[in-house]
């Protein structure tokens, strides 16, 4: 069943149905979005040359409001990013009237500023690439940095998976406490707190490298409580591991719950989560979840379908 008034391809000419284009990164999510919108996915052929180059070809998008759904995480970041850029360019050259990049997980968002000499700003580079490929608007889910909208030279629609994940968390243990594993996740934890009516504790950490962190201080009472660690993303699991150890030292229960909008589970993550006493692990399908890690995956399809429906003129943007 479609969402709201977004019927099928037979809609009137005043508000024709949006056209959805997807690459190979997350076909299940794209199929779910199209099913909820009640539209057919635009055919997209992705030819791969022996040397690894891609050449996409898309179906009819002329004079239409087009949404290119791609993700940029899960172990093949650069292939996925290049695929997204080429699909955007193909749609632009095929006459799309308006072109929106729907990127649930926005890679390089952690590189939103220079933290040392000689560094670049990866988030700005990726944003400029999207603009150069023809994107006029960007939809992202819980980006790692709030500065993303300021550094991207196009309209950015930021949506959140908190409602979806908070609903999936219920019922929560009566002795639970929400734990932000670093200062950057504090606002996210407060949003979960508004849904779940739970107290919040915040960890202060220092990042030692791309894979190692040190949790230094805990603000908030976790003694005797069940920690629910909430973050925008899980990469290697080092941040969660450090937060769990600090909470345990402060007297929390040994078991914990972990919730994140984006589950990358890269590098040492399988080993880390194999050792942690995690009772529940929840993520969305912004990135195709890996095998071998017991995780509950909550689909972003309803959120993205509703966002596309509103942006395409069927509803006002909230």
Residue bearing tokens 């962190």: 213
Mention every residue, 6+ apart, whose C-beta is less than 8 A from residue 53.
none
Rounded Cα–Cα distance for residues 223 and 12 (Å): 60
H or E element at residue 228: strand 226-234
Is residue 205 annotated as part of the catalytic site, yes or no?
yes
Cα dihedral 304/309/315/318 (nearest 10): 20
> CB of 100 within 8 A of CB of 88?
no
The three-state secondary structure class of 190 is helix
CA dist 91 to 186, 291, 297, Å? Answer: 39, 33, 31
> CB of 260 within 8 A of CB of 273?
no
Catalytic option among 124, 187, 205, 279: 205
Q: What share of the chain is helix, strand, coil (3-state, %, to 5)?
A: 30, 25, 45
Say whether the peptide bond before residue 43 is cis (omega within 30 degrees of 0): no
CA dist 234 to 149, 177, 250, 254, 271, Å? Answer: 22, 19, 23, 20, 13
CA dist 183 to 150, 174, 233, 257, Å? Answer: 20, 25, 14, 19
Residues taking part in catalysis = 205
């Amino acid at each position: 069943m479609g969402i709201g008034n977004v019927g099928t391809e037979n809609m009137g000419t005043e508000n024709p149905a949006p056209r959805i284009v997807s690459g190979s990164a997350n076909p299940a999510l794209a199929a779910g979005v199209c099913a909820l919108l009640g539209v057919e996915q635009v055919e997209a052929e992705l030819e791969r040359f022996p040397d690894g180059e891609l050449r996409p070809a898309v179906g009819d998008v002329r004079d239409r409001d087009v949404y290119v759904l791609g993700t940029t995480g899960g172990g093949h970041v650069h292939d996925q990013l290049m695929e997204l850029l080429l699909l955007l360019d193909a749609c632009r050259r095929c006459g799309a009237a308006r072109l929106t990049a729907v990127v649930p997980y926005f890679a390089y968002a952690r590189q939103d500023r220079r933290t040392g000499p000689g560094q670049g700003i990866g988030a700005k580079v990726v944003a400029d690439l999207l603009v150069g490929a023809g994107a006029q608007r960007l939809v992202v889910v819980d980006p790692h940095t709030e500065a993303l909208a300021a550094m991207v030279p196009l309209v950015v629609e930021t949506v959140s998976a908190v409602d979806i994940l908070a609903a999936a968390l219920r019922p929560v243990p009566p002795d639970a406490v929400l734990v932000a594993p670093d200062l950057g996740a504090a606002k996210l934890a407060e949003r979960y707190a508004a849904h779940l009516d739970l107290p919040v504790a915040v960890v202060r950490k220092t990042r030692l490298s791309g894979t190692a962190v040190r949790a230094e201080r805990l603000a908030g009472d976790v003694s005797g409580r069940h920690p629910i660690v909430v973050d925008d993303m899980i990469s290697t699991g080092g941040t969660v591991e450090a937060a769990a150890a600090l909470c345990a030292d402060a007297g929390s229960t040994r078991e914990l719950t972990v919730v994140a909008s984006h589950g990358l589970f890269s590098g040492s993550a399988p080993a880390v989560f194999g050792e942690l006493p995690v009772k529940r692990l929840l993520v969305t399908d912004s990135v195709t979840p890996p095998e071998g890690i017991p995780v509950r995956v909550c689909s972003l399809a309803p959120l993205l379908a509703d966002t596309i429906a509103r942006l395409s003129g069927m509803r006002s943007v909230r």
